[in-house]
Structure 1
Amino acid sequence: MVSSKITAVFSLVAFAVIHSLTASLPFKRLVMRVAGPEAEKLYLPAYSLTAVLTILPLIYQLYKNPGRVLYKISSPWRWLMVGGQLVAGTLDLVAYLDAPHRFKVSSQLAGSQASEANSLKIRGIYRWVRDPFLLSGLVMIWLTPVMTVNLLIVYILTTIYFYLGSLHWERRLVAQFGDEYREYQKRVHRIIPGLRGSVKESDQSSVNI
């Protein structure tokens, strides 16, 4: 019988492969070439739906075979942790709304030649943290009030995947925004809000320490 740990890891790897493939520029370039510019409006919703569908097998595996319980946080701390997870979950939406131009497929494919790339347009949460998606993801998984062996294994691997994904995403942003983003990297921390200071909105050269 296949170990539940192996099954969970396999499900995570399958998700990571599909998620990385659909997020890659070559795949986006292929979709745009085959489907045309009209595909851009549907790409992000389709990408998000694919991510949800491909993570479901992993969720099912962890629900069916969570493994030995390592710890279980009791109330009221349990609800504080769940509340933190909910707040972190809303951060993803806030992060997208604060920088929708970063996610336009045409701009990503055009790189530094895109008109949107002329300005990094620092707004909202990005004034304090460079990768709010990484921050949100880590908070959501590690504030889980019940930890099991299989969850711990998946969370450790997920943390590594999140961080590597963040490094790749920033390389893409450097290609898209150039020196402007490199300067931004020096002034705002990747994951800890306000650690290096905060960038003024619409003026990423000014920093409040």
Structure 2
Amino acid sequence: MSRLLALLYGTACYAVFLVTFLYAVAFVTGAGVPKHVDNGADTPTLIALAIDLVLMTLFAVQHSVMARPAFKRWWTRFVPKPIERSTYVLASSLVLALLFWQWRPLPGIVWDVEGGLARGAVYAIAALGWLLVLASTFLISHFELFGLRQVWDLARKRAPAPETPFVVRALYRIVRHPLMLGFLIAFWAAPTMTAGHLLFAAVTTAYIIVAVKCFEERDLIAQHGEAYRRYQREVPMLLPGRVRSARDHDVSSDLGHGRTTR
């Protein structure tokens, strides 16, 4: 594949991700977009529930299966390795865009925070969650995570860079998966919680917990063995708590660390 085409492809995939991520913020908060979690086509409750569950299941399957090492080994027999991550990012963005497009609202009110100051405080907590998500990507390797470094190295005829070692510092000294914690905060910090928003938050929470425990951390243990088991013992998975050790130590990562995406 032409190096220039690979670079353009990777850049385009990253641009699609950025648009999708920004829309996701608006979709969950219900602000500034024509279609969000609490509006859309009127659909009978059971049908709306079924459609929403299928959409979230499709995203969960794509997001997790394509991130597994066995799938990547098979997939890179057909897709050039430098654009493998960009292709994953594109696929994830398109599936998420499908969810935004076809989502059916469930309008029943579960809770509603009244008062401008109180509502503003809840929105501020949600914004903190989204900032935590973004900050966590830069604490690992943002541009490698989203495929840009790989296509840039190819364009410059550079050998693939060695995997960036993960140093347990900052947010990763508090919880093992701050990126996922950021998503949970952003999804649950809603001043008006509808039945549809509750469904979205509950299912994504269950997916995050299962994916991290059953897939992500299993892969990291297989790769790093006792080093990662020690990290598990010392630092909580998602909820901040007592950290048993505050010392710095390196844990090499395939950039799947702290998230379910890779």
The bucket for the TM-score relative to the shorter chain is 0.7 to 0.9
Higher helix share: 1
Shift of the alpha carbon at 1:100? 3.1
In the alignment, what sits opposite 2:231? Answer: 184
2:188 to 142, 151, 175: 142
**Number of paired residues?**
190
2:96 to 51, 55, 74: 55
- State the secondary structure of the residue aligned to 1:70: strand
User: 1:16-57: CA deviations, max 9, x gaps?
Assistant: 1221222222221123222333235xx1x4333332321233
User: 1:135-182: CA deviations, max 9, x gaps?
Assistant: 112111111222112222232222111101111211111112111111
Between the two proteins, what is the percent identity of the paired residues?
27
Deviates more, 1:181-190 or 1:50-59: 50-59
In the alignment, what sits opposite 1:207? Answer: none
In structure 1, how many angstroms separate the alpha carbons of the residues matched to 2:87 and 2:241?
A: 34
TM-score by length of 2: 0.63
In the alignment, what sits opposite 1:175? Answer: 222
In structure 1, how many angstroms separate the alpha carbons of the residues matched to 2:132 and 2:87?
A: 21
2:69 to 15, 25, 29: 25
The amino acid of 2:59's aligned partner reads F
Q: What are the within-5 Å matches in structure 2 for residues 1-209 of structure 1?
A: 3-40=47-84, 43=85, 45-62=86-103, 64-74=104-114, 75-100=116-141, 121-167=167-213, 168-197=215-244, 199-202=246-249
- State the secondary structure of the residue aligned to 1:71: strand
In structure 1, how many angstroms separate the alpha carbons of the residues matched to 2:146 and 2:193?
A: 37
In the alignment, what sits opposite 2:38? Answer: none
In structure 1, how many angstroms separate the alpha carbons of the residues matched to 2:225 and 2:62?
A: 28
TM-score by length of 1: 0.77
Shift of the alpha carbon at 1:120? 5.0
- Compared CA separation, residues 100 and 49, structure 1 to 2 (3 A): same
